[in-house]
Structure 1
Amino acid sequence: MYINASLQAKLENSERMLKALLNNLDGMVYCCLWDDRWTMVFVSDGCKQLTGYDAHSLVSDPAISFEAITSPEDRGRVRQAIEEAIFRRQRFAVEYRIIHADGGTRWVSERGCPLYNERGEVEAIEGFMQDITQRRLSEAAAREAEERYRSIFENALEGIYQTSPDGHYLNFNPALARIYGYESAVELILGICDIQKQLYVDPFKREEFVALMSAQGQVSNFEAQVYRKNGEIIWISENAHEVRNQNGDLLFYEGTVEDITERKNYEQQIEYQATHDALTGLPNRTLLTDRLQQYIGLADRYASKVAVAFVDLDQFKLINDSMGHHAGDELLKIMATRLGGCVRESDTVVRLGGDEFVLLLTGLHKIEDISESMQRVLSSVAGPCAIEGRDFIVSCSIGISIYPDDARDTTTLLKYADSAMYKSKQSGRNNFQFYTDELNRRLMERLDMEYRLRQALEHDEFLLHFQPKLAFASGNICGAEALIRWRPAGGGMVSPADFIPVAEETGLIVDIGQWVLHSACRQAVRLNAMAGRELPIAVNVSPRQFRQSDLVSRVRSALQHSGLNPACLELEITESSLVHDTGSFIKTLQELKTLGVKLAIDDFGTGYSSMAYLKDFPVDRLKIDQAFVSRLETESSNIAILKAIIALGHSLNMKVIAEGVETAYQQAFLHGIGCDELQGYFFSKPLPVEAFEKLLGD
C-alpha cells in the first residue's frame, strides 16, 4: 500500500506540472479528431487567449467547431496541407487565419502530427498553435514598404546607386542611367567599369569623394563635372553615406545623384554678369580686386612682380558727345579687343567704366617687360578705328604701379596707378608713366639708349677691340677675340654690359652682330697679311643671332666679301643657345662647320650643355667660363671642375681655353693641368686694332 500511494502522489504531481506547463505556454495545445469539423477532444487553457473561447466551450459546445472559426478563405488550403502531410506520414506546419470570438481576425501558426490506431489508421491530430498576428502584420508592412521603396527606386527622378569603394556600380535605378545618357541599366554597367577614370572629368574628384567618406562617413551636396555617354559634360550633385556590416566593415557606398547642370549654368551666367562688363565682355571692377589679389599671391610665391596699368582714352569724350553713344560704345568694344591683344593669356584686361581700363600684368621680372607691353598698347590704341564709315584716331594715357616695389595692397596699387595716369596726361598724353621717379628715370635711360643704338650703326660709332689668346705650349699669340665697343659721337665709351642687353631685347643685336662679323673678317685679312701668318679671329654669336634662319648665309657672305680663309674665323656660341632646340642647334653647328670655320662653346660650365649632346657637337674649342678661373685661389672646388672640363674637352678632341686669367698663379695652375690656351688681363686686356697690330709686331 505504501508504494502504491507514493506512486499515486508522483503521478498526480506530474499531472499538475504538465497541466501548469500547458497552461503557461504562449499558445494552445490541442488534440482533435480527424473529421470534417476538427472536433476538439482536448485543448489547453491557452485557447482562451488565442481564440476568445474557453477550453470547455471549444470541446463540449457542438455549435463551436475549429472548422467554423477557421477563416473561410483558408479552410481548403489548411485541410489540403494537413492531408498531404498525413499522406506522407510527416509532421505538418501551416499558417492561416481564424475568426476570433470578438469577430476579429487572427493569424495562427499550427504545427502537429497525426495519431494512429492499432490498424495504422489516423484517428486524431495533436499539435500546438501560436498567435502570429503581429509577426504577419510586420511582414505585410515590410512587404508594403519594400514595394513602395521599389516603386520610388524605379520611378524616382533622382539617380539612386550603390557603388563599391573601389569605384564599381553594384546597383542603381533607371534614372541614374538616364542622367548619364544610357538607355538601360545593362548599357550603363557595360559602359562604366571604373567610375574614377570614366565618369569624373577630374579624376581627383573621386579621390576627394572617398576621402570625405573616410573622414565623415557621408558626403552632402558633393558637386562635380561628369561625362555622359556621348561625351557631353554635365554637373551633378551627390548625397551619399557608407554602409557597413555588424562588424563595422565597409560594404559599399549608397547615395543619390541629381543633374544640376541647368542650375550651375544659371549660376555661372549670373556670376559672369556680376563680374563682367555688359558692353565689352571684359572683367569689371568687381573682379578686379580678386584677380589682382591672386596675382599678388603668385608674385610672392615665385618672387616676381605685378604691374597695374591704368589706361584712359584721351579723345573719347569728344567722339562720344559728337557722334553719339552708339559710336562711343563701338569705339569702346574695339579698344577692349585691342587691349586684349596686347597682353598675354595670363594677364587680365578690366573695364572700370566709361573710357577707363586697367591692365594687370603678372609674372614680370624687369621693367623692360612692362615698357615693351605699354609700347604695344600705345601703338595698338592709336590705330585708326572705322565706325559708321568714318575713321577715328584716339590715343591713351597710361599710369603704372608695381607690386611689390610701390605698394603691397590692392587699394594702394590702384590708387598709385591712377595717380601715374594723371602724370601721363600732364606729360602730353599718348604716353605712359610709372608711379616712382626711379622707374621712370630707368625707363627713360633705356629708351634713350635704344634710340641711340639705332643711330650708332648709321653714324659708324662702333669699333672693334682685340683680346689676344696665348698658347701654353709655345707661349705665342695663337689668335684673338674681336670685341665690340661703342663710342658715341661727342661722348665716352659705353660699356658692353650696358648696351648689349638692350640690343638683345630689342633685336638690334642681329644687325650689330652682322656689323661685327663683317668688320672682324675684313680686319682679320689685314692682320694676317701684316703678321705673315694665319691668325684665327673669334667672333661672338649671341643666342638671338644664332636662332636666325639665315645665320649660315650671313657668315658665308662675310667670308666671301672679305676674302678671309674660313679656317681663320672662329665663332663663339654660348651654351644658352642650346636651351631652345637641341636638334636645330646641332644642325646649325654642322652647317657652319661645312663652311670651314672653327667653332667654340663659350662660357662652358654655366649654361645648358648636356653630356648626351656634347659628343655630337662639331666643336673645336671649349672656353672655360671666367667664373671658375677668377675664384681659383679662394674656392678649391673649382679645381675639380677645371680638371674635369679639360679632361672632357681633350677626350672629345677639343682644345680648351681659359678666359679671365688675371694672375700668375692662375696661369701656372692652368698650364699644369693641361689647359691649351689662355685669355685674360694677365697677358693682355682687349686692345684697339692699332695696339694689337703693334703687339703682333713685337
Structure 2
Amino acid sequence: MRPAARALCRHEGAQSEAVVAMARPPRLLETLLANLDGMVYRCRDDAHWTLEFVSEGCHALTGYAPEDLLLNSRISFLQLTHPEDRAMVRSHIDTCMRERRRIDIEYRILHADGGVRWVWERGVGLYNAAGKVEAMEGFLQDVTERKEAAQALQEAERRYRSIFENAIEGVFQTTPDGTYIAVNPALARIYGYHSPEDLIVGLRDISHQLYVEAERRTEFMRLMEQHGSVSNFESRVYRRDGDIIWISENARAVYDDSGKLVCYEGTVEAITERKLYEAEMRHHATHDALTGLPNRNMLHEHLQRAIQVARQKGGLTAVAFLDLDQFKFINDSLGHQVGDELLKTVAQRLQACLRDTDMVARQGGDEFVLVLQNQTGGELGIAEVMQRILATVARPWQAGDREFQVTASIGVSRYPVDGKDVETLLKQADSAMYRAKEQGRNNFQFFAPWMDTQVSNRLEMLINLRRALDQEEFKLYYQPKLSLKDGSVIGAEALIRWQSPEQGMVPPDRFIPFAEETGLILPIGEWVLRTACHQNKRWQQAGLPTIPVAVNLSPRQLNQSLPEFVSDVLRQSGLDASCLELEITENVVMKDAEKSVATLHALKRLGLQISVDDFGTGYSSLSYLRRFPVDALKIDKSFVRDIVRDADSAAIVKAIISLAHILNLRVIAEGVEDEEQHAFLKENACDEVQGYFFGKPMTVEDFTAWLTRQAGTGR
C-alpha cells in the first residue's frame, strides 16, 4: 500500500474511533444503561444501520457482545433484523425520519443461538441544521413472551370462534329475562332462522315465543336458581315456521366478580328423531305389533292400576277373557294374512264396544282380554256389555269374495269377588272362558267357585304330558340357520314336537303354554337341552361340520341352578360350550332382572352363546341390552313376515339391525319364507336367517342327510 493510502486509512480509523469515543457515555450513565432490561443504541442512517454505540443489554437481547455489532465488526444491525421483516422495518423508519416522527415498531430479530425473538423498538432521529438525519438513537426491548402470549390468545379466540360458528349443536347466551345476546349458526338452523342475527331480532321473548309449554321456562329458571345449571333439559319448542320439535339444553348461569347474574349460556341439541324413536320403541314394547292394542305387559300394568282404584274408591272391576272360536280353521285354511286381517278387525270391533276408561289388550294368538272399570250395574251391567261384544264380534266379515261369521267365547272374573290380584283375576277369567267353550261357544260365563282351574280337557292334557315324558314321546326337530353373507350353514335351532299316540304330531304352541303353567316345562326343558347337546356331539363325531345348536329357555328354567345344570350336560355330552346357544325372550329376563343378569353372566362364563328371541315384542327392548351379556338378537317373525309390504315393520327391522350392530351384536331373522324377505334382509345387513325359505324343521335323520349334502357341496 502506498504511504498516502496508509495515511488516509489511519486518518479514517482515527476518525471512527473518535466518533465512538464521543458517543461513549460517562461511566455513571454507562452503568445505568447496562442495568436496563433492553438495548440502547445509536446508529447511522445508512444501508446497514451501522451502530456507533450499543449498551451492555445487547448481549441478553441478541446473544452478541456489543463489540460484535459496533461498526458492523461481526454483524450489522440490518443482518440482525429478520429477513421477512426488513422491508417493513426499513419503510417504517424511513417514514418516521422523513416525517420527523418517533420510531415505534415491533418486529423480529435473529438471535445468536439461531432462535427468533420479538423486539419492541422506540427511537428518534437526530437532525443537523440543514434538516438532514445525522443518526438515530433508541431502545430495543425483548417482548417475545408478550407477543407469543398475544398470538396464543388470538389463536384461542380463532379456535373458539371456529368452534362457535361450526358447531353442530346450537350455542347461545341469553339475558336472565329471556333475550338472546349471542347465538351460533347451528342454533339458528335448529330454530328455523336464516342467520343468528335473524334469530336474535325475531325471537325476543323466549318464554312465550319458544316453549310449547310455558311452564318449561319456569322450570328452567327454577333449576337455574337452585343449582346454577341444567343438564339434558328436554322440551318441546316452536320453530319459526310453527313446527314443533324436541330439544335438549345444557346451560349454566354466569356471574360477574361481584356475584351478580350476568347471563345464561349453554348448548341446544335437536332430539326430535331420538324422541320419536324412543316413543316408537316404547309403543312396541307395550303394544301388539299386529293390532296396535296394548300387549300383555301393558295389560298387567293397567289391571293393577284398576285394582288399586277399585280398592280405594270401591266399585266393581271386571276382567273378560275372550277367545275366537273359529280362528284356527280360518288361519290354517286361508293363510296367515287373512288370519291377521281378522285379528285386526276383531280388535277394532272390541275397542268400539268399550268406554274410554276401559281397556282391551291382545293376550296372544286369538285371545283378547278386556278390563271394565267401575261397573255400577253389577253383573247385569257386565252381562249387557258381554252380549254387545258377542254380537259385535259375530257380525259377518268379508275375506275377498267370501263372507265369514266368527264367534267368541268369553269368561268373566270380578274384583273383588273372584280375586284380588292380577294373576288370580286373569286365571279365573281364563277358566270361565273354557267353561264357555264347553257350553257350545258363542257365549259368556261368569267365574264360579266350583269351576276348577283344571277343566276336564286340561286335566287330560296334564296326564298326557306326564306320560309323554315317561314314554319318550317327545322328538327334537332341527331347523338350519344360514349366513346371509355367503349362504353357509352356521347353526341350527332345536325345536320340540310331541308325537302323541292319540293326537298324532302336536306342535309346541298347543302344549308348551300349558307345560309352562303347570311346571312340567322344567323336566321337558332339561330333556331338550340334554338331547340337543348329545345329538350335536354325535354329528361332530360323524365328521359333519361343527355348528352351534340353539335351545330355547323357558322363564321357569332361568334360575340360579341353571348354570350348574348346563355345565353338567356339557360335561356328560362332551360338547364344547361354544357349540351351544341358549335363546331367551325379553320377558324372561325382565321378570327378575337382577337375578337374571347374575345367571346369564354365570352361563357366559361357561363359554356358550346367548341370544334374545322374539326381539321387539317384549317388555323393554333397549333398557337391558347394555346390562345383559348377549351375543345376538332374533327379530321376531311377526316383523319379518310384513317387511316387504308394511313400512312400519320394515322400519322396525332396520332399526333393530342398526341397534344390534351398534352394540356389536349379531342379528338373526326368523320366519323367512320368500325371496323378497331374503333380499330385504340381505340388503339391510342382517347377519343370519332361518325359515322355510331355507329349510323347514327336520327330524334328526333328515337334518343329518341335509347337513351331509351341505358339507359335500362346500357350503
TM range (shorter): 0.5 to 0.7
Which residue does the alignment assign to 2:364?
Answer: 353
- Give the secondary-structure state (helix, strand or coil) at the position aligned to 2:177: coil
Which residue does the alignment assign to 2:142?
Answer: 131
CA 1:52 to 1:307, structure 2 compared with 1: closer, same or farther past 3 Å?
Answer: farther
Of residues 96-105 and 63-72 in structure 1, the stretch that sits farther from structure 2 once superposed is: 63-72
Aligned-partner residue type, residue 136 of structure 1:
K
Shift of 1:112: 4.0
Please show how residues 490-639 of structure 1 align to structure 2 within 5 Å. none
Shift of 1:170: 2.0
Equivalent residue in structure 2 for 1:150, among 154, 161, 170: 161
Shift of 1:70: 1.9
Shift of 1:108: 0.7
Distance (whole Å) between structure 2 residues aligned to residue 230 and residue 410 of structure 1: 48
Shift of 1:52: 1.1
Render the CA deviation track for 1:222-263: whole Å, top value 9, x for unaligned.
333333233333333334444333344333333333333333
Which residue does the alignment assign to 1:421?
Answer: 433
> Where do 5+ consecutive residues of structure 1 fail to align?
1-13, 439-698
Aligned-partner residue type, residue 152 of structure 2:
A
Distance (whole Å) between structure 1 residues aligned to residue 115 and residue 87 of structure 2: 20
Render the CA deviation track for 1:641-685: whole Å, top value 9, x for unaligned.
xxxxxxxxxxxxxxxxxxxxxxxxxxxxxxxxxxxxxxxxxxxxx
CA 1:437 to 1:19, structure 2 compared with 1: closer, same or farther past 3 Å?
Answer: farther
Distance (whole Å) between structure 2 residues aligned to residue 57 and residue 33 of structure 1: 16
Aligned pair 1:384/2:393, yes or no? no
Which residue does the alignment assign to 1:74?
Answer: 85
Aligned-partner residue type, residue 56 of structure 1:
E
Shift of 1:364: 5.6
Aligned-partner residue type, residue 243 of structure 1:
V
> Do 1:29 and 1:128's aligned partners in 2 also have CA atoms closer than 8 Å?
yes
Distance (whole Å) between structure 2 residues aligned to residue 360 and residue 16 of structure 1: 110
- Give the secondary-structure state (helix, strand or coil) at the position aligned to 2:193: coil
Give the paired residue count: 425
Aligned pair 1:340/2:351, yes or no? yes
CA 1:345 to 1:165, structure 2 compared with 1: closer, same or farther past 3 Å?
Answer: farther
- Give the secondary-structure state (helix, strand or coil) at the position aligned to 1:246: coil
- Give the secondary-structure state (helix, strand or coil) at the position aligned to 2:70: helix
Which residue does the alignment assign to 1:159?
Answer: 170
> Do 1:200 and 1:206's aligned partners in 2 also have CA atoms closer than 8 Å?
yes
Shift of 1:306: 4.6
Equivalent residue in structure 2 for 1:397, among 393, 409, 413: 409
Distance (whole Å) between structure 2 residues aligned to residue 337 and residue 427 of structure 1: 26
> Do 1:327 and 1:388's aligned partners in 2 also have CA atoms closer than 8 Å?
no
Aligned-partner residue type, residue 391 of structure 2:
S
Distance (whole Å) between structure 2 residues aligned to residue 414 and residue 17 of structure 1: 110
Which residue does the alignment assign to 2:213?
Answer: 202
Which residue does the alignment assign to 1:328?
Answer: 339
Larger Rg over CA atoms: 1
> Do 1:305 and 1:362's aligned partners in 2 also have CA atoms closer than 8 Å?
yes
- Give the secondary-structure state (helix, strand or coil) at the position aligned to 1:274: helix
Please show how residues 666-685 of structure 1 align to structure 2 within 5 Å. none
- Give the secondary-structure state (helix, strand or coil) at the position aligned to 1:95: strand
Q: What TM-score, normalized to structure 2?
A: 0.52
Which residue does the alignment assign to 1:110?
Answer: 121
Percent identity over the alignment is: 56
Render the CA deviation track for 1:386-408: whole Å, top value 9, x for unaligned.
33344433333333444566555
> Do 2:407 and 2:442's aligned partners in 1 also have CA atoms closer than 8 Å?
yes
Shift of 1:276: 2.3
Distance (whole Å) between structure 2 residues aligned to residue 249 and residue 338 of structure 1: 64
Aligned pair 1:269/2:280, yes or no? yes
Which residue does the alignment assign to 1:286?
Answer: 297
Distance (whole Å) between structure 2 residues aligned to residue 213 and residue 111 of structure 1: 52
Shift of 1:339: 0.5
CA 1:318 to 1:70, structure 2 compared with 1: closer, same or farther past 3 Å?
Answer: closer
Distance (whole Å) between structure 2 residues aligned to residue 137 and residue 429 of structure 1: 92
Aligned-partner residue type, residue 291 of structure 1:
H
Distance (whole Å) between structure 1 residues aligned to residue 429 and residue 31 of structure 2: 103
Render the CA deviation track for 1:588-625: whole Å, top value 9, x for unaligned.
xxxxxxxxxxxxxxxxxxxxxxxxxxxxxxxxxxxxxx
Distance (whole Å) between structure 2 residues aligned to residue 25 and residue 297 of structure 1: 89
Distance (whole Å) between structure 1 residues aligned to residue 153 and residue 237 of structure 2: 36
> Do 1:58 and 1:65's aligned partners in 2 also have CA atoms closer than 8 Å?
yes
Q: What TM-score, normalized to structure 1?
A: 0.53
Please show how residues 153-302 of structure 1 align to structure 2 within 5 Å. 153-295=164-306
> Do 2:182 and 2:200's aligned partners in 1 also have CA atoms closer than 8 Å?
no
Aligned-partner residue type, residue 240 of structure 2:
K
CA 1:427 to 1:147, structure 2 compared with 1: closer, same or farther past 3 Å?
Answer: same
Shift of 1:433: 4.5
Aligned pair 1:98/2:109, yes or no? yes
CA 1:55 to 1:286, structure 2 compared with 1: closer, same or farther past 3 Å?
Answer: same
Distance (whole Å) between structure 1 residues aligned to residue 32 and residue 317 of structure 2: 95
Shift of 1:95: 1.0
Which residue does the alignment assign to 1:311?
Answer: 322
> Do 1:32 and 1:41's aligned partners in 2 also have CA atoms closer than 8 Å?
yes
Render the CA deviation track for 1:59-109: whole Å, top value 9, x for unaligned.
354443323312344344435545666677665532111122233321111
> Do 1:236 and 1:259's aligned partners in 2 also have CA atoms closer than 8 Å?
yes
Which residue does the alignment assign to 1:46?
Answer: 57
> Do 2:299 and 2:361's aligned partners in 1 also have CA atoms closer than 8 Å?
yes
Which residue does the alignment assign to 1:691?
Answer: none
Shift of 1:338: 0.6
Distance (whole Å) between structure 1 residues aligned to residue 175 and residue 133 of structure 2: 58
Distance (whole Å) between structure 2 residues aligned to residue 22 and residue 410 of structure 1: 98
Aligned-partner residue type, residue 339 of structure 1:
L
- What is the RMSD computed on CA atoms of the aligned residues? 3.8
